[in-house]
Amino acid sequence: MTVLNNNKPLLTFMNKNIPLLKKYIPLALGGALLMASAGLMSNSGMNPDKKPEKKFSEASLQVDTVATGLTMPWASALLPNGDLLVTERGGKLRLVQKGKLDPQEISGIPEVYYKGQGGLLDIALHPDYKSNGWIYISYSSPKAAGEEGDDNGANTALIRAKLKDHALTDIQPLFKAIPNVKANVHFGGRIVFDKKGYVFLSLGERGQKENSQNLGRDQGKVVRLHEDGKIPTDNPFVKTEGARPEIWTYGHRNPQGMIIHPTTGVIWEHEHGPQGGDELNIIEKGKNYGWPLITYGIDYDNSIISKDTARAGLEQPVTFWRPSIAPCGMTFISNDKFKEWKGDLIVGSLKFMYLQHLVVKGNKVTSREIIFDKIGRVRDVRQGWDGNIYVVLENSGKVVRISPKS
C-alpha cells in the first residue's frame, strides 16, 4: 500500500503538467503499477492466486449500484462530497445521498419539452466547481414568445445554476439553439468543458438532416461558448455571412457522447447515425462531419441517403458502428487504477444494452469489445473525480459505479 501511495502524487503531477513526458508515462506507469500490485498483493488480502501480470479485463472490474428508483434518468454528476446529481428526462433533477435517492426533487429546473427524445438532458459540473459552484444543464426547451421557429416546437438549451439545499439558484440561461423545430427527435445535448474557459454543447439536427449543413441554423452542430454564454470572437464562422457565430463544427446528426481527451485536450464525439452509420469523430474547429452528404449508413426505411461514404472536405469518422449500437455517453479512462485500459474509451449502447471498450492508440481505435452485456439501456457514461466510471441506466432507473476490484 505504501508503494501505491508514494507513487500517486508523482503520476498525477506528470500527467497534468508535463505533456512532453507523455510518451514516457506508460513506462513509468507500468513500473509503478507492478510495484503497486506487489504492494497490494502482500498487504491488502488480495487473492494470491491472481497473478499481477494478468491482463486487465471486464473480470477485473466490479459493478456497484449507487442509485436506484430514478425515472428515465439521462445523466449524472458526482459532487465533491460523493453525492450524485441525476437528471430525469421527464424534467426533474434528483439528488442521491449515500446511495439513497432523496425524495425531494431539486427545484428551479425550467420548463422542459418532454416528448419523444426530448426532456431534461445532460448535467456537467464546471471544472472549478469546488470554488465557483456552477452546474451546467442542457434540456429540450419549448418555443418561447419571440423565438424563431415552429409554434409548439422546441430546441436544445443550456443553463447554469448553483445548488443550494434543494434548489437551483443564480439560474442563468446561456444558450438556446435556433430555430425551434416541431419534431420529437435528435436533441443532442452533451456538455463538455475544455478547461481553457470554453464550454461545448452538442446539438442534433432535429430530424431535418439537410439543416446539418446549413450554417444559418444550429441543428446538427457542436457549438462553443464562453463559460458565461458569450460567443467567442475566434469561433470559426463569426465572420461568415449568414452563419451563426456559436458554431464550432457542423454536419452532425445526433451527437450524444462528447468528451475531452485527457492528454491532448481535443474533443471526441459520437453520434447516432442512420441505420449502420453511428460514428465516432474527433471534433476540430470549423470542420464539416458530412451528414447527410456522406454516411456509412442507410435510412431507417432502407432508402439510400447518400451513395458516398467519403468526399473531399468532409471529415471521416475515427470509426463507425454497423450495426448501429445507438451510442449514448462516453468517457476516456484517465485513471491509473484501470491499468492498461488507461487512455481507452468506454461507450454506452442504448440499443444493445451494453458498454463497449474501445482501445485507443493516438487518433485510432485499434479494437473494441463488448463489456457488461445486458447491463441496461445506457444513457450516460462518465468518469467521476474518484476515477471510477458512473453509468446511467434508463430502463432500470439506476446509476452504477464501475471500479477495479480491489
Partner 1 sequence: MLLSAGVFCSAIMPGQDDELAKSIERGKMIYSENCITCHMGNGEGVPAAFPPLAKSDYFINAPENAIRAVKFGLIGKIKVNGIDYDNMMPDPGLGKDEIADVVNYISNSWGNSSDKKIITEKMVEETKENK
User: By the criterion CB under 8 A, which residues form the site for partner 1?
Assistant: 72, 89, 114-116, 118, 183-185, 207, 272, 275, 299-302, 323-324, 326, 351-353, 377, 394-395
Q: What is the chain's length? A: 406
Q: What angle do CA 361, 13, 8 make, to 5 degrees?
A: 90
Q: For partner 1, which is the closer residue by CB, 168 or 392?
A: 392
Determine whether 59 is exposed, middle or buried from the number of CB atoms within 10 Å of its CB (0-12, 13-18, 19+): exposed
Beta-carbon contacts of residue 9 (< 8 Å; ≥ 6 apart): none
Q: For partner 1, which is the closer residue by CB, 162 or 182?
A: 182
Q: For partner 1, which is the closer residue by CB, 114 or 134?
A: 114
User: Smallest distance from the beta carbon of 9 to partner 1, in angstroms?
Assistant: 44
**CA 286 to CA 267: how far, in whole Å?**
13
Q: Which of the residues 186, 252, 270, 272 is marked catalytic?
A: 186
178 and 218 Cβ atoms separated by less than 8 Å: yes
186 has catalytic annotation: yes
SS3 state of residue 257:
strand
User: Smallest distance from the beta carbon of 54 to partner 1, in angstroms?
Assistant: 31
User: Smallest distance from the beta carbon of 302 to partner 1, in angstroms?
Assistant: 5
Q: For partner 1, which is the closer residue by CB, 82 or 207?
A: 207
- Residue 23's alpha-carbon distances to 10, 29, 277, 341, in angstroms, are 15, 11, 33, 16
Q: For partner 1, which is the closer residue by CB, 83 or 150?
A: 150
From the list 177, 338, 327, the residue with the least C-alpha distance to 259 is 327
User: Smallest distance from the beta carbon of 112 to partner 1, in angstroms?
Assistant: 11
User: Smallest distance from the beta carbon of 136 to partner 1, in angstroms?
Assistant: 24
Partners of 382 in beta bridges = 390
Q: Which three cell numbers stand for residue 43?
A: 498487504
User: Smallest distance from the beta carbon of 274 to partner 1, in angstroms?
Assistant: 9
Q: For partner 1, which is the closer residue by CB, 19 or 323?
A: 323
Q: Which three cell numbers stand for residue 132?
A: 465557483
User: Smallest distance from the beta carbon of 191 to partner 1, in angstroms?
Assistant: 22
User: Smallest distance from the beta carbon of 323 to partner 1, in angstroms?
Assistant: 8
Q: For partner 1, which is the closer residue by CB, 184 or 309?
A: 184
152 Rama class: left (phi>0) / alpha (psi -120 to 50) / beta? left
**β-sheet with 389-393: strand ranges across:** 61-67, 398-404, 389-393, 378-383
Name the one residue in this structure whose C-alpha cell is 500490485.
Answer: 37
- Residue 133's alpha-carbon distances to 85, 129, 186, 212, in angstroms, are 13, 5, 30, 34
Determine whether 130 is exposed, middle or buried from the number of CB atoms within 10 Å of its CB (0-12, 13-18, 19+): exposed
From the list 113, 186, 193, the residue with the least C-alpha distance to 160 is 193
Q: For partner 1, which is the closer residue by CB, 344 or 394?
A: 394
Partners of 281 in beta bridges = 269
**CA 369 to CA 205: how far, in whole Å?**
29
Cite the active site residues: 186
